[in-house]
Structures are given as structure tokens and as C-alpha cells.
Structure 1
Amino acid sequence: MVEHRMIDVNGVRLHIAEEGEGPLVVLLHGFPESWHSWHHQFGPLAAAGFRVVAPDQRGYGRSDRPAEVSAYSILHLVGDVVGLIHALGEEKAFVVGHDWGAPVAWHTALLRPDVVRGVAGLSVPPPFRGTRPPLAVMDERFDGRFYWNYFNQPGVADAEFAQDTRTTLRKFFYMASGDAPGAGAGNQPLIDPGQGWLATMTDPEILPDWFTEEDLDELTESFSQGFTGALNWYRNIDRNWELTAPWHGAVVRPPALYVYGDRDPVPAFPGTPELIAALPDLMPNLRRKPVELAGCGHWTQQERPREVNAALIDFLTELA
């Protein structure tokens, strides 16, 4: 049974959900999500002999939302994971992340391999730092219309998404799912600054089978205080590039697993297909070739829980 509590970590209070006993597995959600995005994983992983913990990361759900944009850098986020592992009485853990949670998981393994028994990323592949600030690259490539650039306009996306939180989330989850027409066709998430993003998204009459009204209720409640904390992660993209300069050219060395859907728009971002193809050569401890899930969109562990659980359990039990 999943239990909930608050825990002090790295100067903030985080809400965590936990179940099971055994080696610690930390599950890190993405945007716009919460601990609940892992609800299909708790039971199977706990039954397989693991202690499963999923926090609402800083800026999300019931966890603290620091006011300063700079408080959401990748170093803060990795610090939260390391602090959480130690606050739970462990020296090491398996770290698994999806969407934004994946870069946090990968960077935890990159910066603190001593505390990571194994790392898995869903949707977003391991980080290989580019030679230029990412926002400038995307601004030039897409004339300022890429969603990262839109999210970096102070208060703009915050206001748009908060007008009707439930509708915002319903549109987001359908738009990036494998159920949406044209999903995975290489269409980039571009936004007309004068129109906003939601106006171009389909509002589905019926939710996909894997995303229930109860799931939407849970998610809507977690964003009852708005989207600013979550959007502040994007407002640190260039700062993260600056902060990680000492690790330029470094690779993730703990045992690793990468899983993605073939209808997910993220693996189709510029340069990402080539990176995924090269991962077996770039990652010294990638335990198997990248796992591609047919017909799966962005919400990997929710759209394909059976396949994701099987891949995670195989990976974790091999290393436990």
C-alpha cells in the first residue's frame, strides 16, 4: 500500500509516496506531472522486492516552491535526490526518471555516481552537453517559437496554463500521447507567441484508456497552486548549461537503461535520433540497446506500464 509523508531535504520540504521494502528505487516525474505518474509502478516494483519512493519534486504538488528562479537549477535538483536518498537512511539507490525527471536522474548518476546503483531514463536520453547555450540554439532554429523559449517568457505560460488547469492538463496529456493523430511524426512543439500553446491543442472528447478522469483529478489538484514552480525548471536551461561546464564530454558510468516510445515527440527533437542510435557506443554501461515501445507516446510509464515494469524489474533485479 502506498503511504505518504513529508521529508526535509536540501533546504526544502518534499512530499513523498513510498511502498515496499528492499533496495531503494527513487522515481522522478516530469512536466506537467507529479508522484502520481508512477502509480502503475509502485505495486509491481514493491512485489519484486524493492523499496519504491516517488517525490513531488520541488515546485510540484505538495512539495515546497522556492520563489527564486535560480533555486531550480540542475544542481539543486540533483541535490534533492542525493539528500532524499540519505534522508531515507540509504547510502545508494537506483534512480529512475521520466521527462524532466530523466535529466535529473542522468545528472545524479553523472555528478554523484557514488550514490547511484543504476540509472534509468524514460523518454529523454542521457545528457551530452552541447557547445552553445540551448535556448539560443533553439531560438535560431525555430525563430523563437520552440516551447522552451516560450516558457522562458516570465509569467506568460504561467497565466495561460492557470486559466483552466484541468483543461490545460487534459490537452497536454492527449497532445503528447501515442493516441493523438500525427504523434511521433517529427512535428516539433512550436508556438505562436501571440496565440499561446493551448489554442492549437486538441481537447479530446474522450480520454485515452490509460488516462482516467481520476488520474486527471489527481493531477489537477497537484497544480492547484499554479505552474510557476514547474516552469522555473525550464528557466534554468541555459544556467544548467553553464553550471555543467566541468562535465563537458563526461559520460554516465553507472549501469544504465533507456526506454522511449516511437510516437513520443521528444526523441524526435533535433539531433536526438542520432544520439539514441549512438548510445550503445557512447554509454559504457548501457545494459541493453535503447528499448523502443511501439505505439507509445510521451507518457511512457503510464501508456505502457506492463512493458516499462518488465524492463525496469529486469534491470533492477540484475543489479540488486
Structure 2
Amino acid sequence: MEGIEHQTLNVNGINMHIAEKGEGPLILFIHGFPDLWYSWRHQITALASLGYRCVAPDLRGYGDTDVPANPTAYTSLHVVGDLVGLLDAIVGDEEKVFVVGHDWGAMTAWSLSLYRPERIRALVNLSVVFTPRNPKRKPLDTLRAVYGNDYYICRFQVSKHGLSRSDEKKMLFSRGKPWFAKWLCCSSALLQEPGEIEAEFAQIGTARVLKEFLTYRNPGPLYLPKGKAFAHPTDSPIALPSWLSEEECDYYASKYDKTGFTGGLNYYRNLDLNWELTASWTGAQVKVPVKFIVGDLDLTYNAPGAKEYIHKGGFKRDVPLLEDVVVLEGAGHFLHQERPDEISNHIYDFFKKF
């Protein structure tokens, strides 16, 4: 896109691709799944024209950034470490920055706010609300209990042998000598082995998988039953919404054809490991100024308990500097692409106060 510059920087032991435009106070844009820096193309252009330096990386495992082989290298500590290293490289370690996150990028922004709040001037998060750590139950146990094993996040865990990654490791320990099982579980070859869902995505085709995700507008939970993912015949056409062109889909597909989906899926495969690593933050509050925006058709907003948490005090309790919650009527999950001007205006109206 015109005027957007690209470079690759070595941060936290990986080569990270960033897109940037503009001069002024820095806004760091953090993308989600299945996404890229490219999802912020509209906001980069709009906010650069309003006097901001806009920087959007491809996160580790995505696009033109390195794809580490070991999936345990995709914890929240790794990803936040990448972003802190990026900020050190482009603005130094003293300057506070504005942050905008969406989907997994919003989750990463919440983590960044917990781990390094002194680096953030203000935060706008889209779609995914803050989730306080539950010390009594691991995330995947909760998701399976609420949604069942066909829920998309649960399906993302499954190895090609039909087991979850944790169950696969338990099987190895029970059937073999412990020292061998431990070595095999730590082998990057095993850890990086694509899971069952990657094989299904390969059968469906990269471009179609991306279109299915990007055009999903059902406010209910997303299920991906084995062999029936997305519940559409693979030869049936997918009608693109007005905000998403074939050319834009082609850009996404060109990057995912190169990297595959495993890097992005590894974020989901670290949910329980993140839970283990973040015990010290149990009960911690997010203490940076926040604006939260979500679409009323977003599956995250319609998840059990989400509306009550957002609107009845729980969210404000955990994020005491929460200044505004905006629910966009008729908007789905990818609201920053679906409503680009509206989202850019919301971001500008909030950040200009600081």
C-alpha cells in the first residue's frame, strides 16, 4: 500500500517484519489469528495522516517474521518479549507508546499491560475482553467443559493421532521409559509436527480456510467437527463482504501458503502453558488507560458470561482505568476491517486525550 514502508529487525532472537508509516507518537498495532500486519492497513493510513507513527509487526509465526520450530516458543512471555524488544529497537526503552490489539493481538496487549505497564501510554483493544487468571482451573479444561471437543480452540489442540498435545505426552510417558519419553516430548521434530487440523486445512485449501474465518459472522460459538470443518462443501462459492476483496484475500493466502497455519495455531496450543507461567499475576489488575470496542455479532461478545462481565462491573474491577466500552451494532469479529473508518476514529478520539 502506498507510503507504507517495510523492514525486518532482529528482536528477542527472531527476525521480525514490521510495516510502518507516519511520524509522531508511536502506535503499536498487534494482529490476531488468522491475520497479519495487513489487517491494520486502513488504520495505519488513517492515523499516520493524523500525526502518528504507526507500526504493525507480523508476530512470530506469521507472515514475513520467523516461525520458531518449537511451539512452546509461542507463550505470552515470548510474544510480549518480542514486542518489548521491538519497542526498544525503534523508540528506545524510555518512551511510552500507544497500543491497539485485536483478537490474539488483544490478548497479547492485555499481557503486555500486565507485564510491562510502564511501556504503555494508553490501550485500545478490540473484540477480546480481558480474562483474569482462574487459579483453580486450566483454560482448556474450562473450554472443553463449556463447549465440547469440537469447539475450534479445542480442535486446534489435537495431534494427528487424535489426541491433545498433553494427552499425547501422557501416553508416551505411560508406554515408554520416562527418560525416552521426556526426550521425545522435548524434541523439536515432535513438537513442531503439524496437528490434525493443519491436515484438514490443507484439504480445504489455504485461501478457502482464510475466507471462512474472515467472513464468519455467526454470533454463536465456532465448531470445527472432524472432517466437517466450517460445514460448507469445499466446492461451494464463498461470497465476500464489501469490505474484503479477492485481491486482499490473495495477499493473505500468499503469506499463509508460505508459512502454513502451525505458527498461529501454536498460540492456542500454549493456553495451558501460559496459565502455568503466569501464576504470579493471579489477581493482578490492568493499570493502563483502556478503551474497549466489540461488535454485537462477535462470537466473543456472545460467549457465556461475556456481556455480564463487560457491563456489570467485572471488567471495570479488573481494569480500573477502563474509560469506555463501545459495542458496534451489526459488526462482527473483524470489525477493524469491516468498519475501518469508524474504528480509526474511535482510536484517534481516545489517544488524542493523552
1:85 has 2:87 as partner: yes
Maintained 8 Å contact 1:174/1:204: no
1:243 has 2:277 as partner: yes
Q: 2:254 aligns with which of 209, 218, 221?
A: 221
TM-score, with normalisation over the residues of structure 2? 0.84
TM-score, with normalisation over the residues of structure 1? 0.93
**Could you tell me how far 1:127 is from its partner in structure 2?**
2.6
In structure 1, what is the Cα distance between the partners aligned to 2:333 and 2:237? 17
Q: Secondary structure at the match of 2:320?
A: coil
Q: 1:204 to 1:292 in 2, by over 3 A?
A: farther
4+ runs of 1 displaced by more than 3 Å?
Answer: 198-205
1:261 has 2:295 as partner: yes
In structure 2, what is the Cα distance between the partners aligned to 1:125 and 1:93? 21
Q: Deviations over 1:8-38 (max 9, x none)?
A: 1111111100000111111011100101000
- The total of aligned residue pairs comes to 309
Q: Secondary structure at the match of 1:40?
A: helix
Query: 1:268-283 alignment to 2 at 5 Å?
Result: 268-277=302-311, 278=313, 279-283=315-319
In structure 2, what is the Cα distance between the partners aligned to 1:205 and 1:66? 33
In structure 1, what is the Cα distance between the partners aligned to 2:34 and 2:238? 21
Same amino acid, percent of matched pairs: 44
Equivalent in the alignment of 1:156: 196
In structure 1, what is the Cα distance between the partners aligned to 2:286 and 2:144? 28
1:142 has 2:144 as partner: no
**Could you tell me how far 1:76 is from its partner in structure 2?**
0.5
Q: Secondary structure at the match of 2:46?
A: helix
Equivalent in the alignment of 1:233: 267
Q: Deviations over 1:162-188 (max 9, x none)?
A: 33101111111112x3xxxxx32xx21
Query: 1:30-179 alignment to 2 at 5 Å?
Result: 30-90=32-92, 91=94, 92-130=96-134, 131-154=136-159, 155-163=195-203, 164-175=205-216, 177=217
The one-letter code sitting in structure 1 at the alignment partner of 2:223 is: L
Q: Deviations over 1:205-230 (max 9, x none)?
A: 43100011111011101101210111
In structure 1, what is the Cα distance between the partners aligned to 2:228 and 2:255? 23
In structure 2, what is the Cα distance between the partners aligned to 1:270 and 1:133? 17
Root mean square deviation of aligned Cα: 1.5
In structure 2, what is the Cα distance between the partners aligned to 1:207 and 1:78? 33
Structure 1's unaligned 5+ residue stretches are 178-182
In structure 2, what is the Cα distance between the partners aligned to 1:42 and 1:171? 25
In structure 1, what is the Cα distance between the partners aligned to 2:9 and 2:34? 22
Maintained 8 Å contact 2:7/2:19: yes
